[in-house]
């Protein structure tokens, strides 16, 4: 039995990664796929804002309803929490320059995308066919969160079925947590790079701030409720964003 050989994650030392300007990815249309409401802003908020400043057509596809962030809240049962999180997403994206009609909420059950993705393939194929994106931002395939990995698989499977080959740019979220970060299989050839986003850092911070359900005590009646820590949020407010692409 062969033992898998791993290599170090590029997030161990992101400051050494090459940094590129937005013109290198400026095109239309661009699709940003988010496993949960807020991933699009955390991982790609700078890219979204800069692409919109260049009048690029940016669409956002949010896969899950995000209702497991506070599952025991009586103030915000699942339907109310879904509505809240979607309104936060629309507010955040408005700050970044994306209009509401460019945002699609697929509303799969939070926490179980992997169990539902086969039944979602047809709908995803229809959506991708309608948009025909030149670039797709999607979660890093080895993100520690299972919903993120399942979202990557969902989009990748749909693209294979459609025989579409847009440029795929993957963004890390939970790999920024050193306790969860893992090394990469040596067989996977990826290129990691940074996008220079210094001009829109403040705008991105404003967009992140709209996610009050995730970064404040807005929902205060669920002792097990989710909240992004200041340490985690700091990873998304650098003057650059990190992306990964498979080397073809």
Contacts of 87 (CB under 8 A, 6+ apart): none
pLDDT of residue 1: 44
pLDDT value of position 94: 98
pLDDT in tens, 157-168: 999 999 999 999
Q: Cα(first)–Cα(last) distance of the chain, in Å? A: 28
Distance CA 94, CA 230 (A): 23
Interatomic CA distance for residues 27 and 130, integer angstroms: 17
For the chain, list the domains and their CATH numbers.
27-246 (3.40.50.10320)
Query: Hey, what are 149's tokens?
Result: 């990995």
**Which pLDDT score, from 0 to 100, does residue 4 have?**
58
pLDDT score for 207: 98
> What is the per-residue pLDDT for 45?
98
DSSP 34: E
Residue whose entry in the numeric block shows the structure tokens 């407010």: 237
Which regions in the chain score pLDDT beneath 70?
Answer: 1-5
pLDDT digit string, tens, across residues 229-247: 999 999 999 999 999 999 8
Output the six-digit token pair for 202.
């403040």
Token output for 145: 């969160």
Cis peptide before 29 (omega within 30 of 0): yes
Q: Are 170 and 241 in contact (CB under 8 A)?
A: no
* Reported pTM: 0.95
Give 166's contacts (C-beta < 8 A, 6+ positions apart).
Answer: 31, 133, 134, 135, 136, 159
């Amino acid at each position: 039995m062969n033992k898998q050989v791993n290599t170090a994650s590029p997030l161990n030392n992101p400051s050494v990664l090459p940094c590129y300007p937005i013109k290198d990815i400026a095109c239309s249309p661009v699709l940003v796929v988010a496993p949960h409401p807020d991933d699009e802003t955390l991982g790609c908020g700078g890219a979204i804002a800069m692409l919109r400043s260049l009048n690029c057509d940016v669409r956002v596809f949010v896969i899950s309803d995000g209702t497991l962030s506070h599952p025991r809240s009586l103030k915000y049962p699942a339907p109310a929490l879904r509505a809240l999180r979607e309104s936060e997403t629309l507010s955040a994206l408005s700050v970044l320059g994306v209009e509401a009609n460019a945002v699609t909420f697929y509303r799969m059950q939070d926490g179980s995308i992997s169990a539902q993705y086969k039944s979602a393939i047809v709908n995803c194929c229809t959506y991708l066919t309608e948009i025909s994106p030149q670039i797709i931002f999607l979660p890093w395939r080895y993100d520690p969160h299972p919903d993120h990995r399942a979202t990557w698989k969902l989009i990748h499977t749909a693209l294979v079925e459609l025989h579409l080959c847009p440029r795929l740019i993957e963004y890390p979220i939970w790999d920024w947590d050193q306790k969860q970060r893992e090394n990469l299989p040596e067989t996977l050839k990826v290129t990691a790079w940074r996008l220079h986003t210094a001009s829109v850092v403040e705008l991105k911070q404003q967009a992140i701030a709209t996610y009050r359900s995730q970064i404040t005590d807005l929902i205060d009646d669920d002792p097990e409720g989710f909240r992004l820590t200041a340490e985690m949020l700091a990873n998304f407010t650098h003057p650059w964003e990190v992306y990964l692409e498979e080397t073809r």
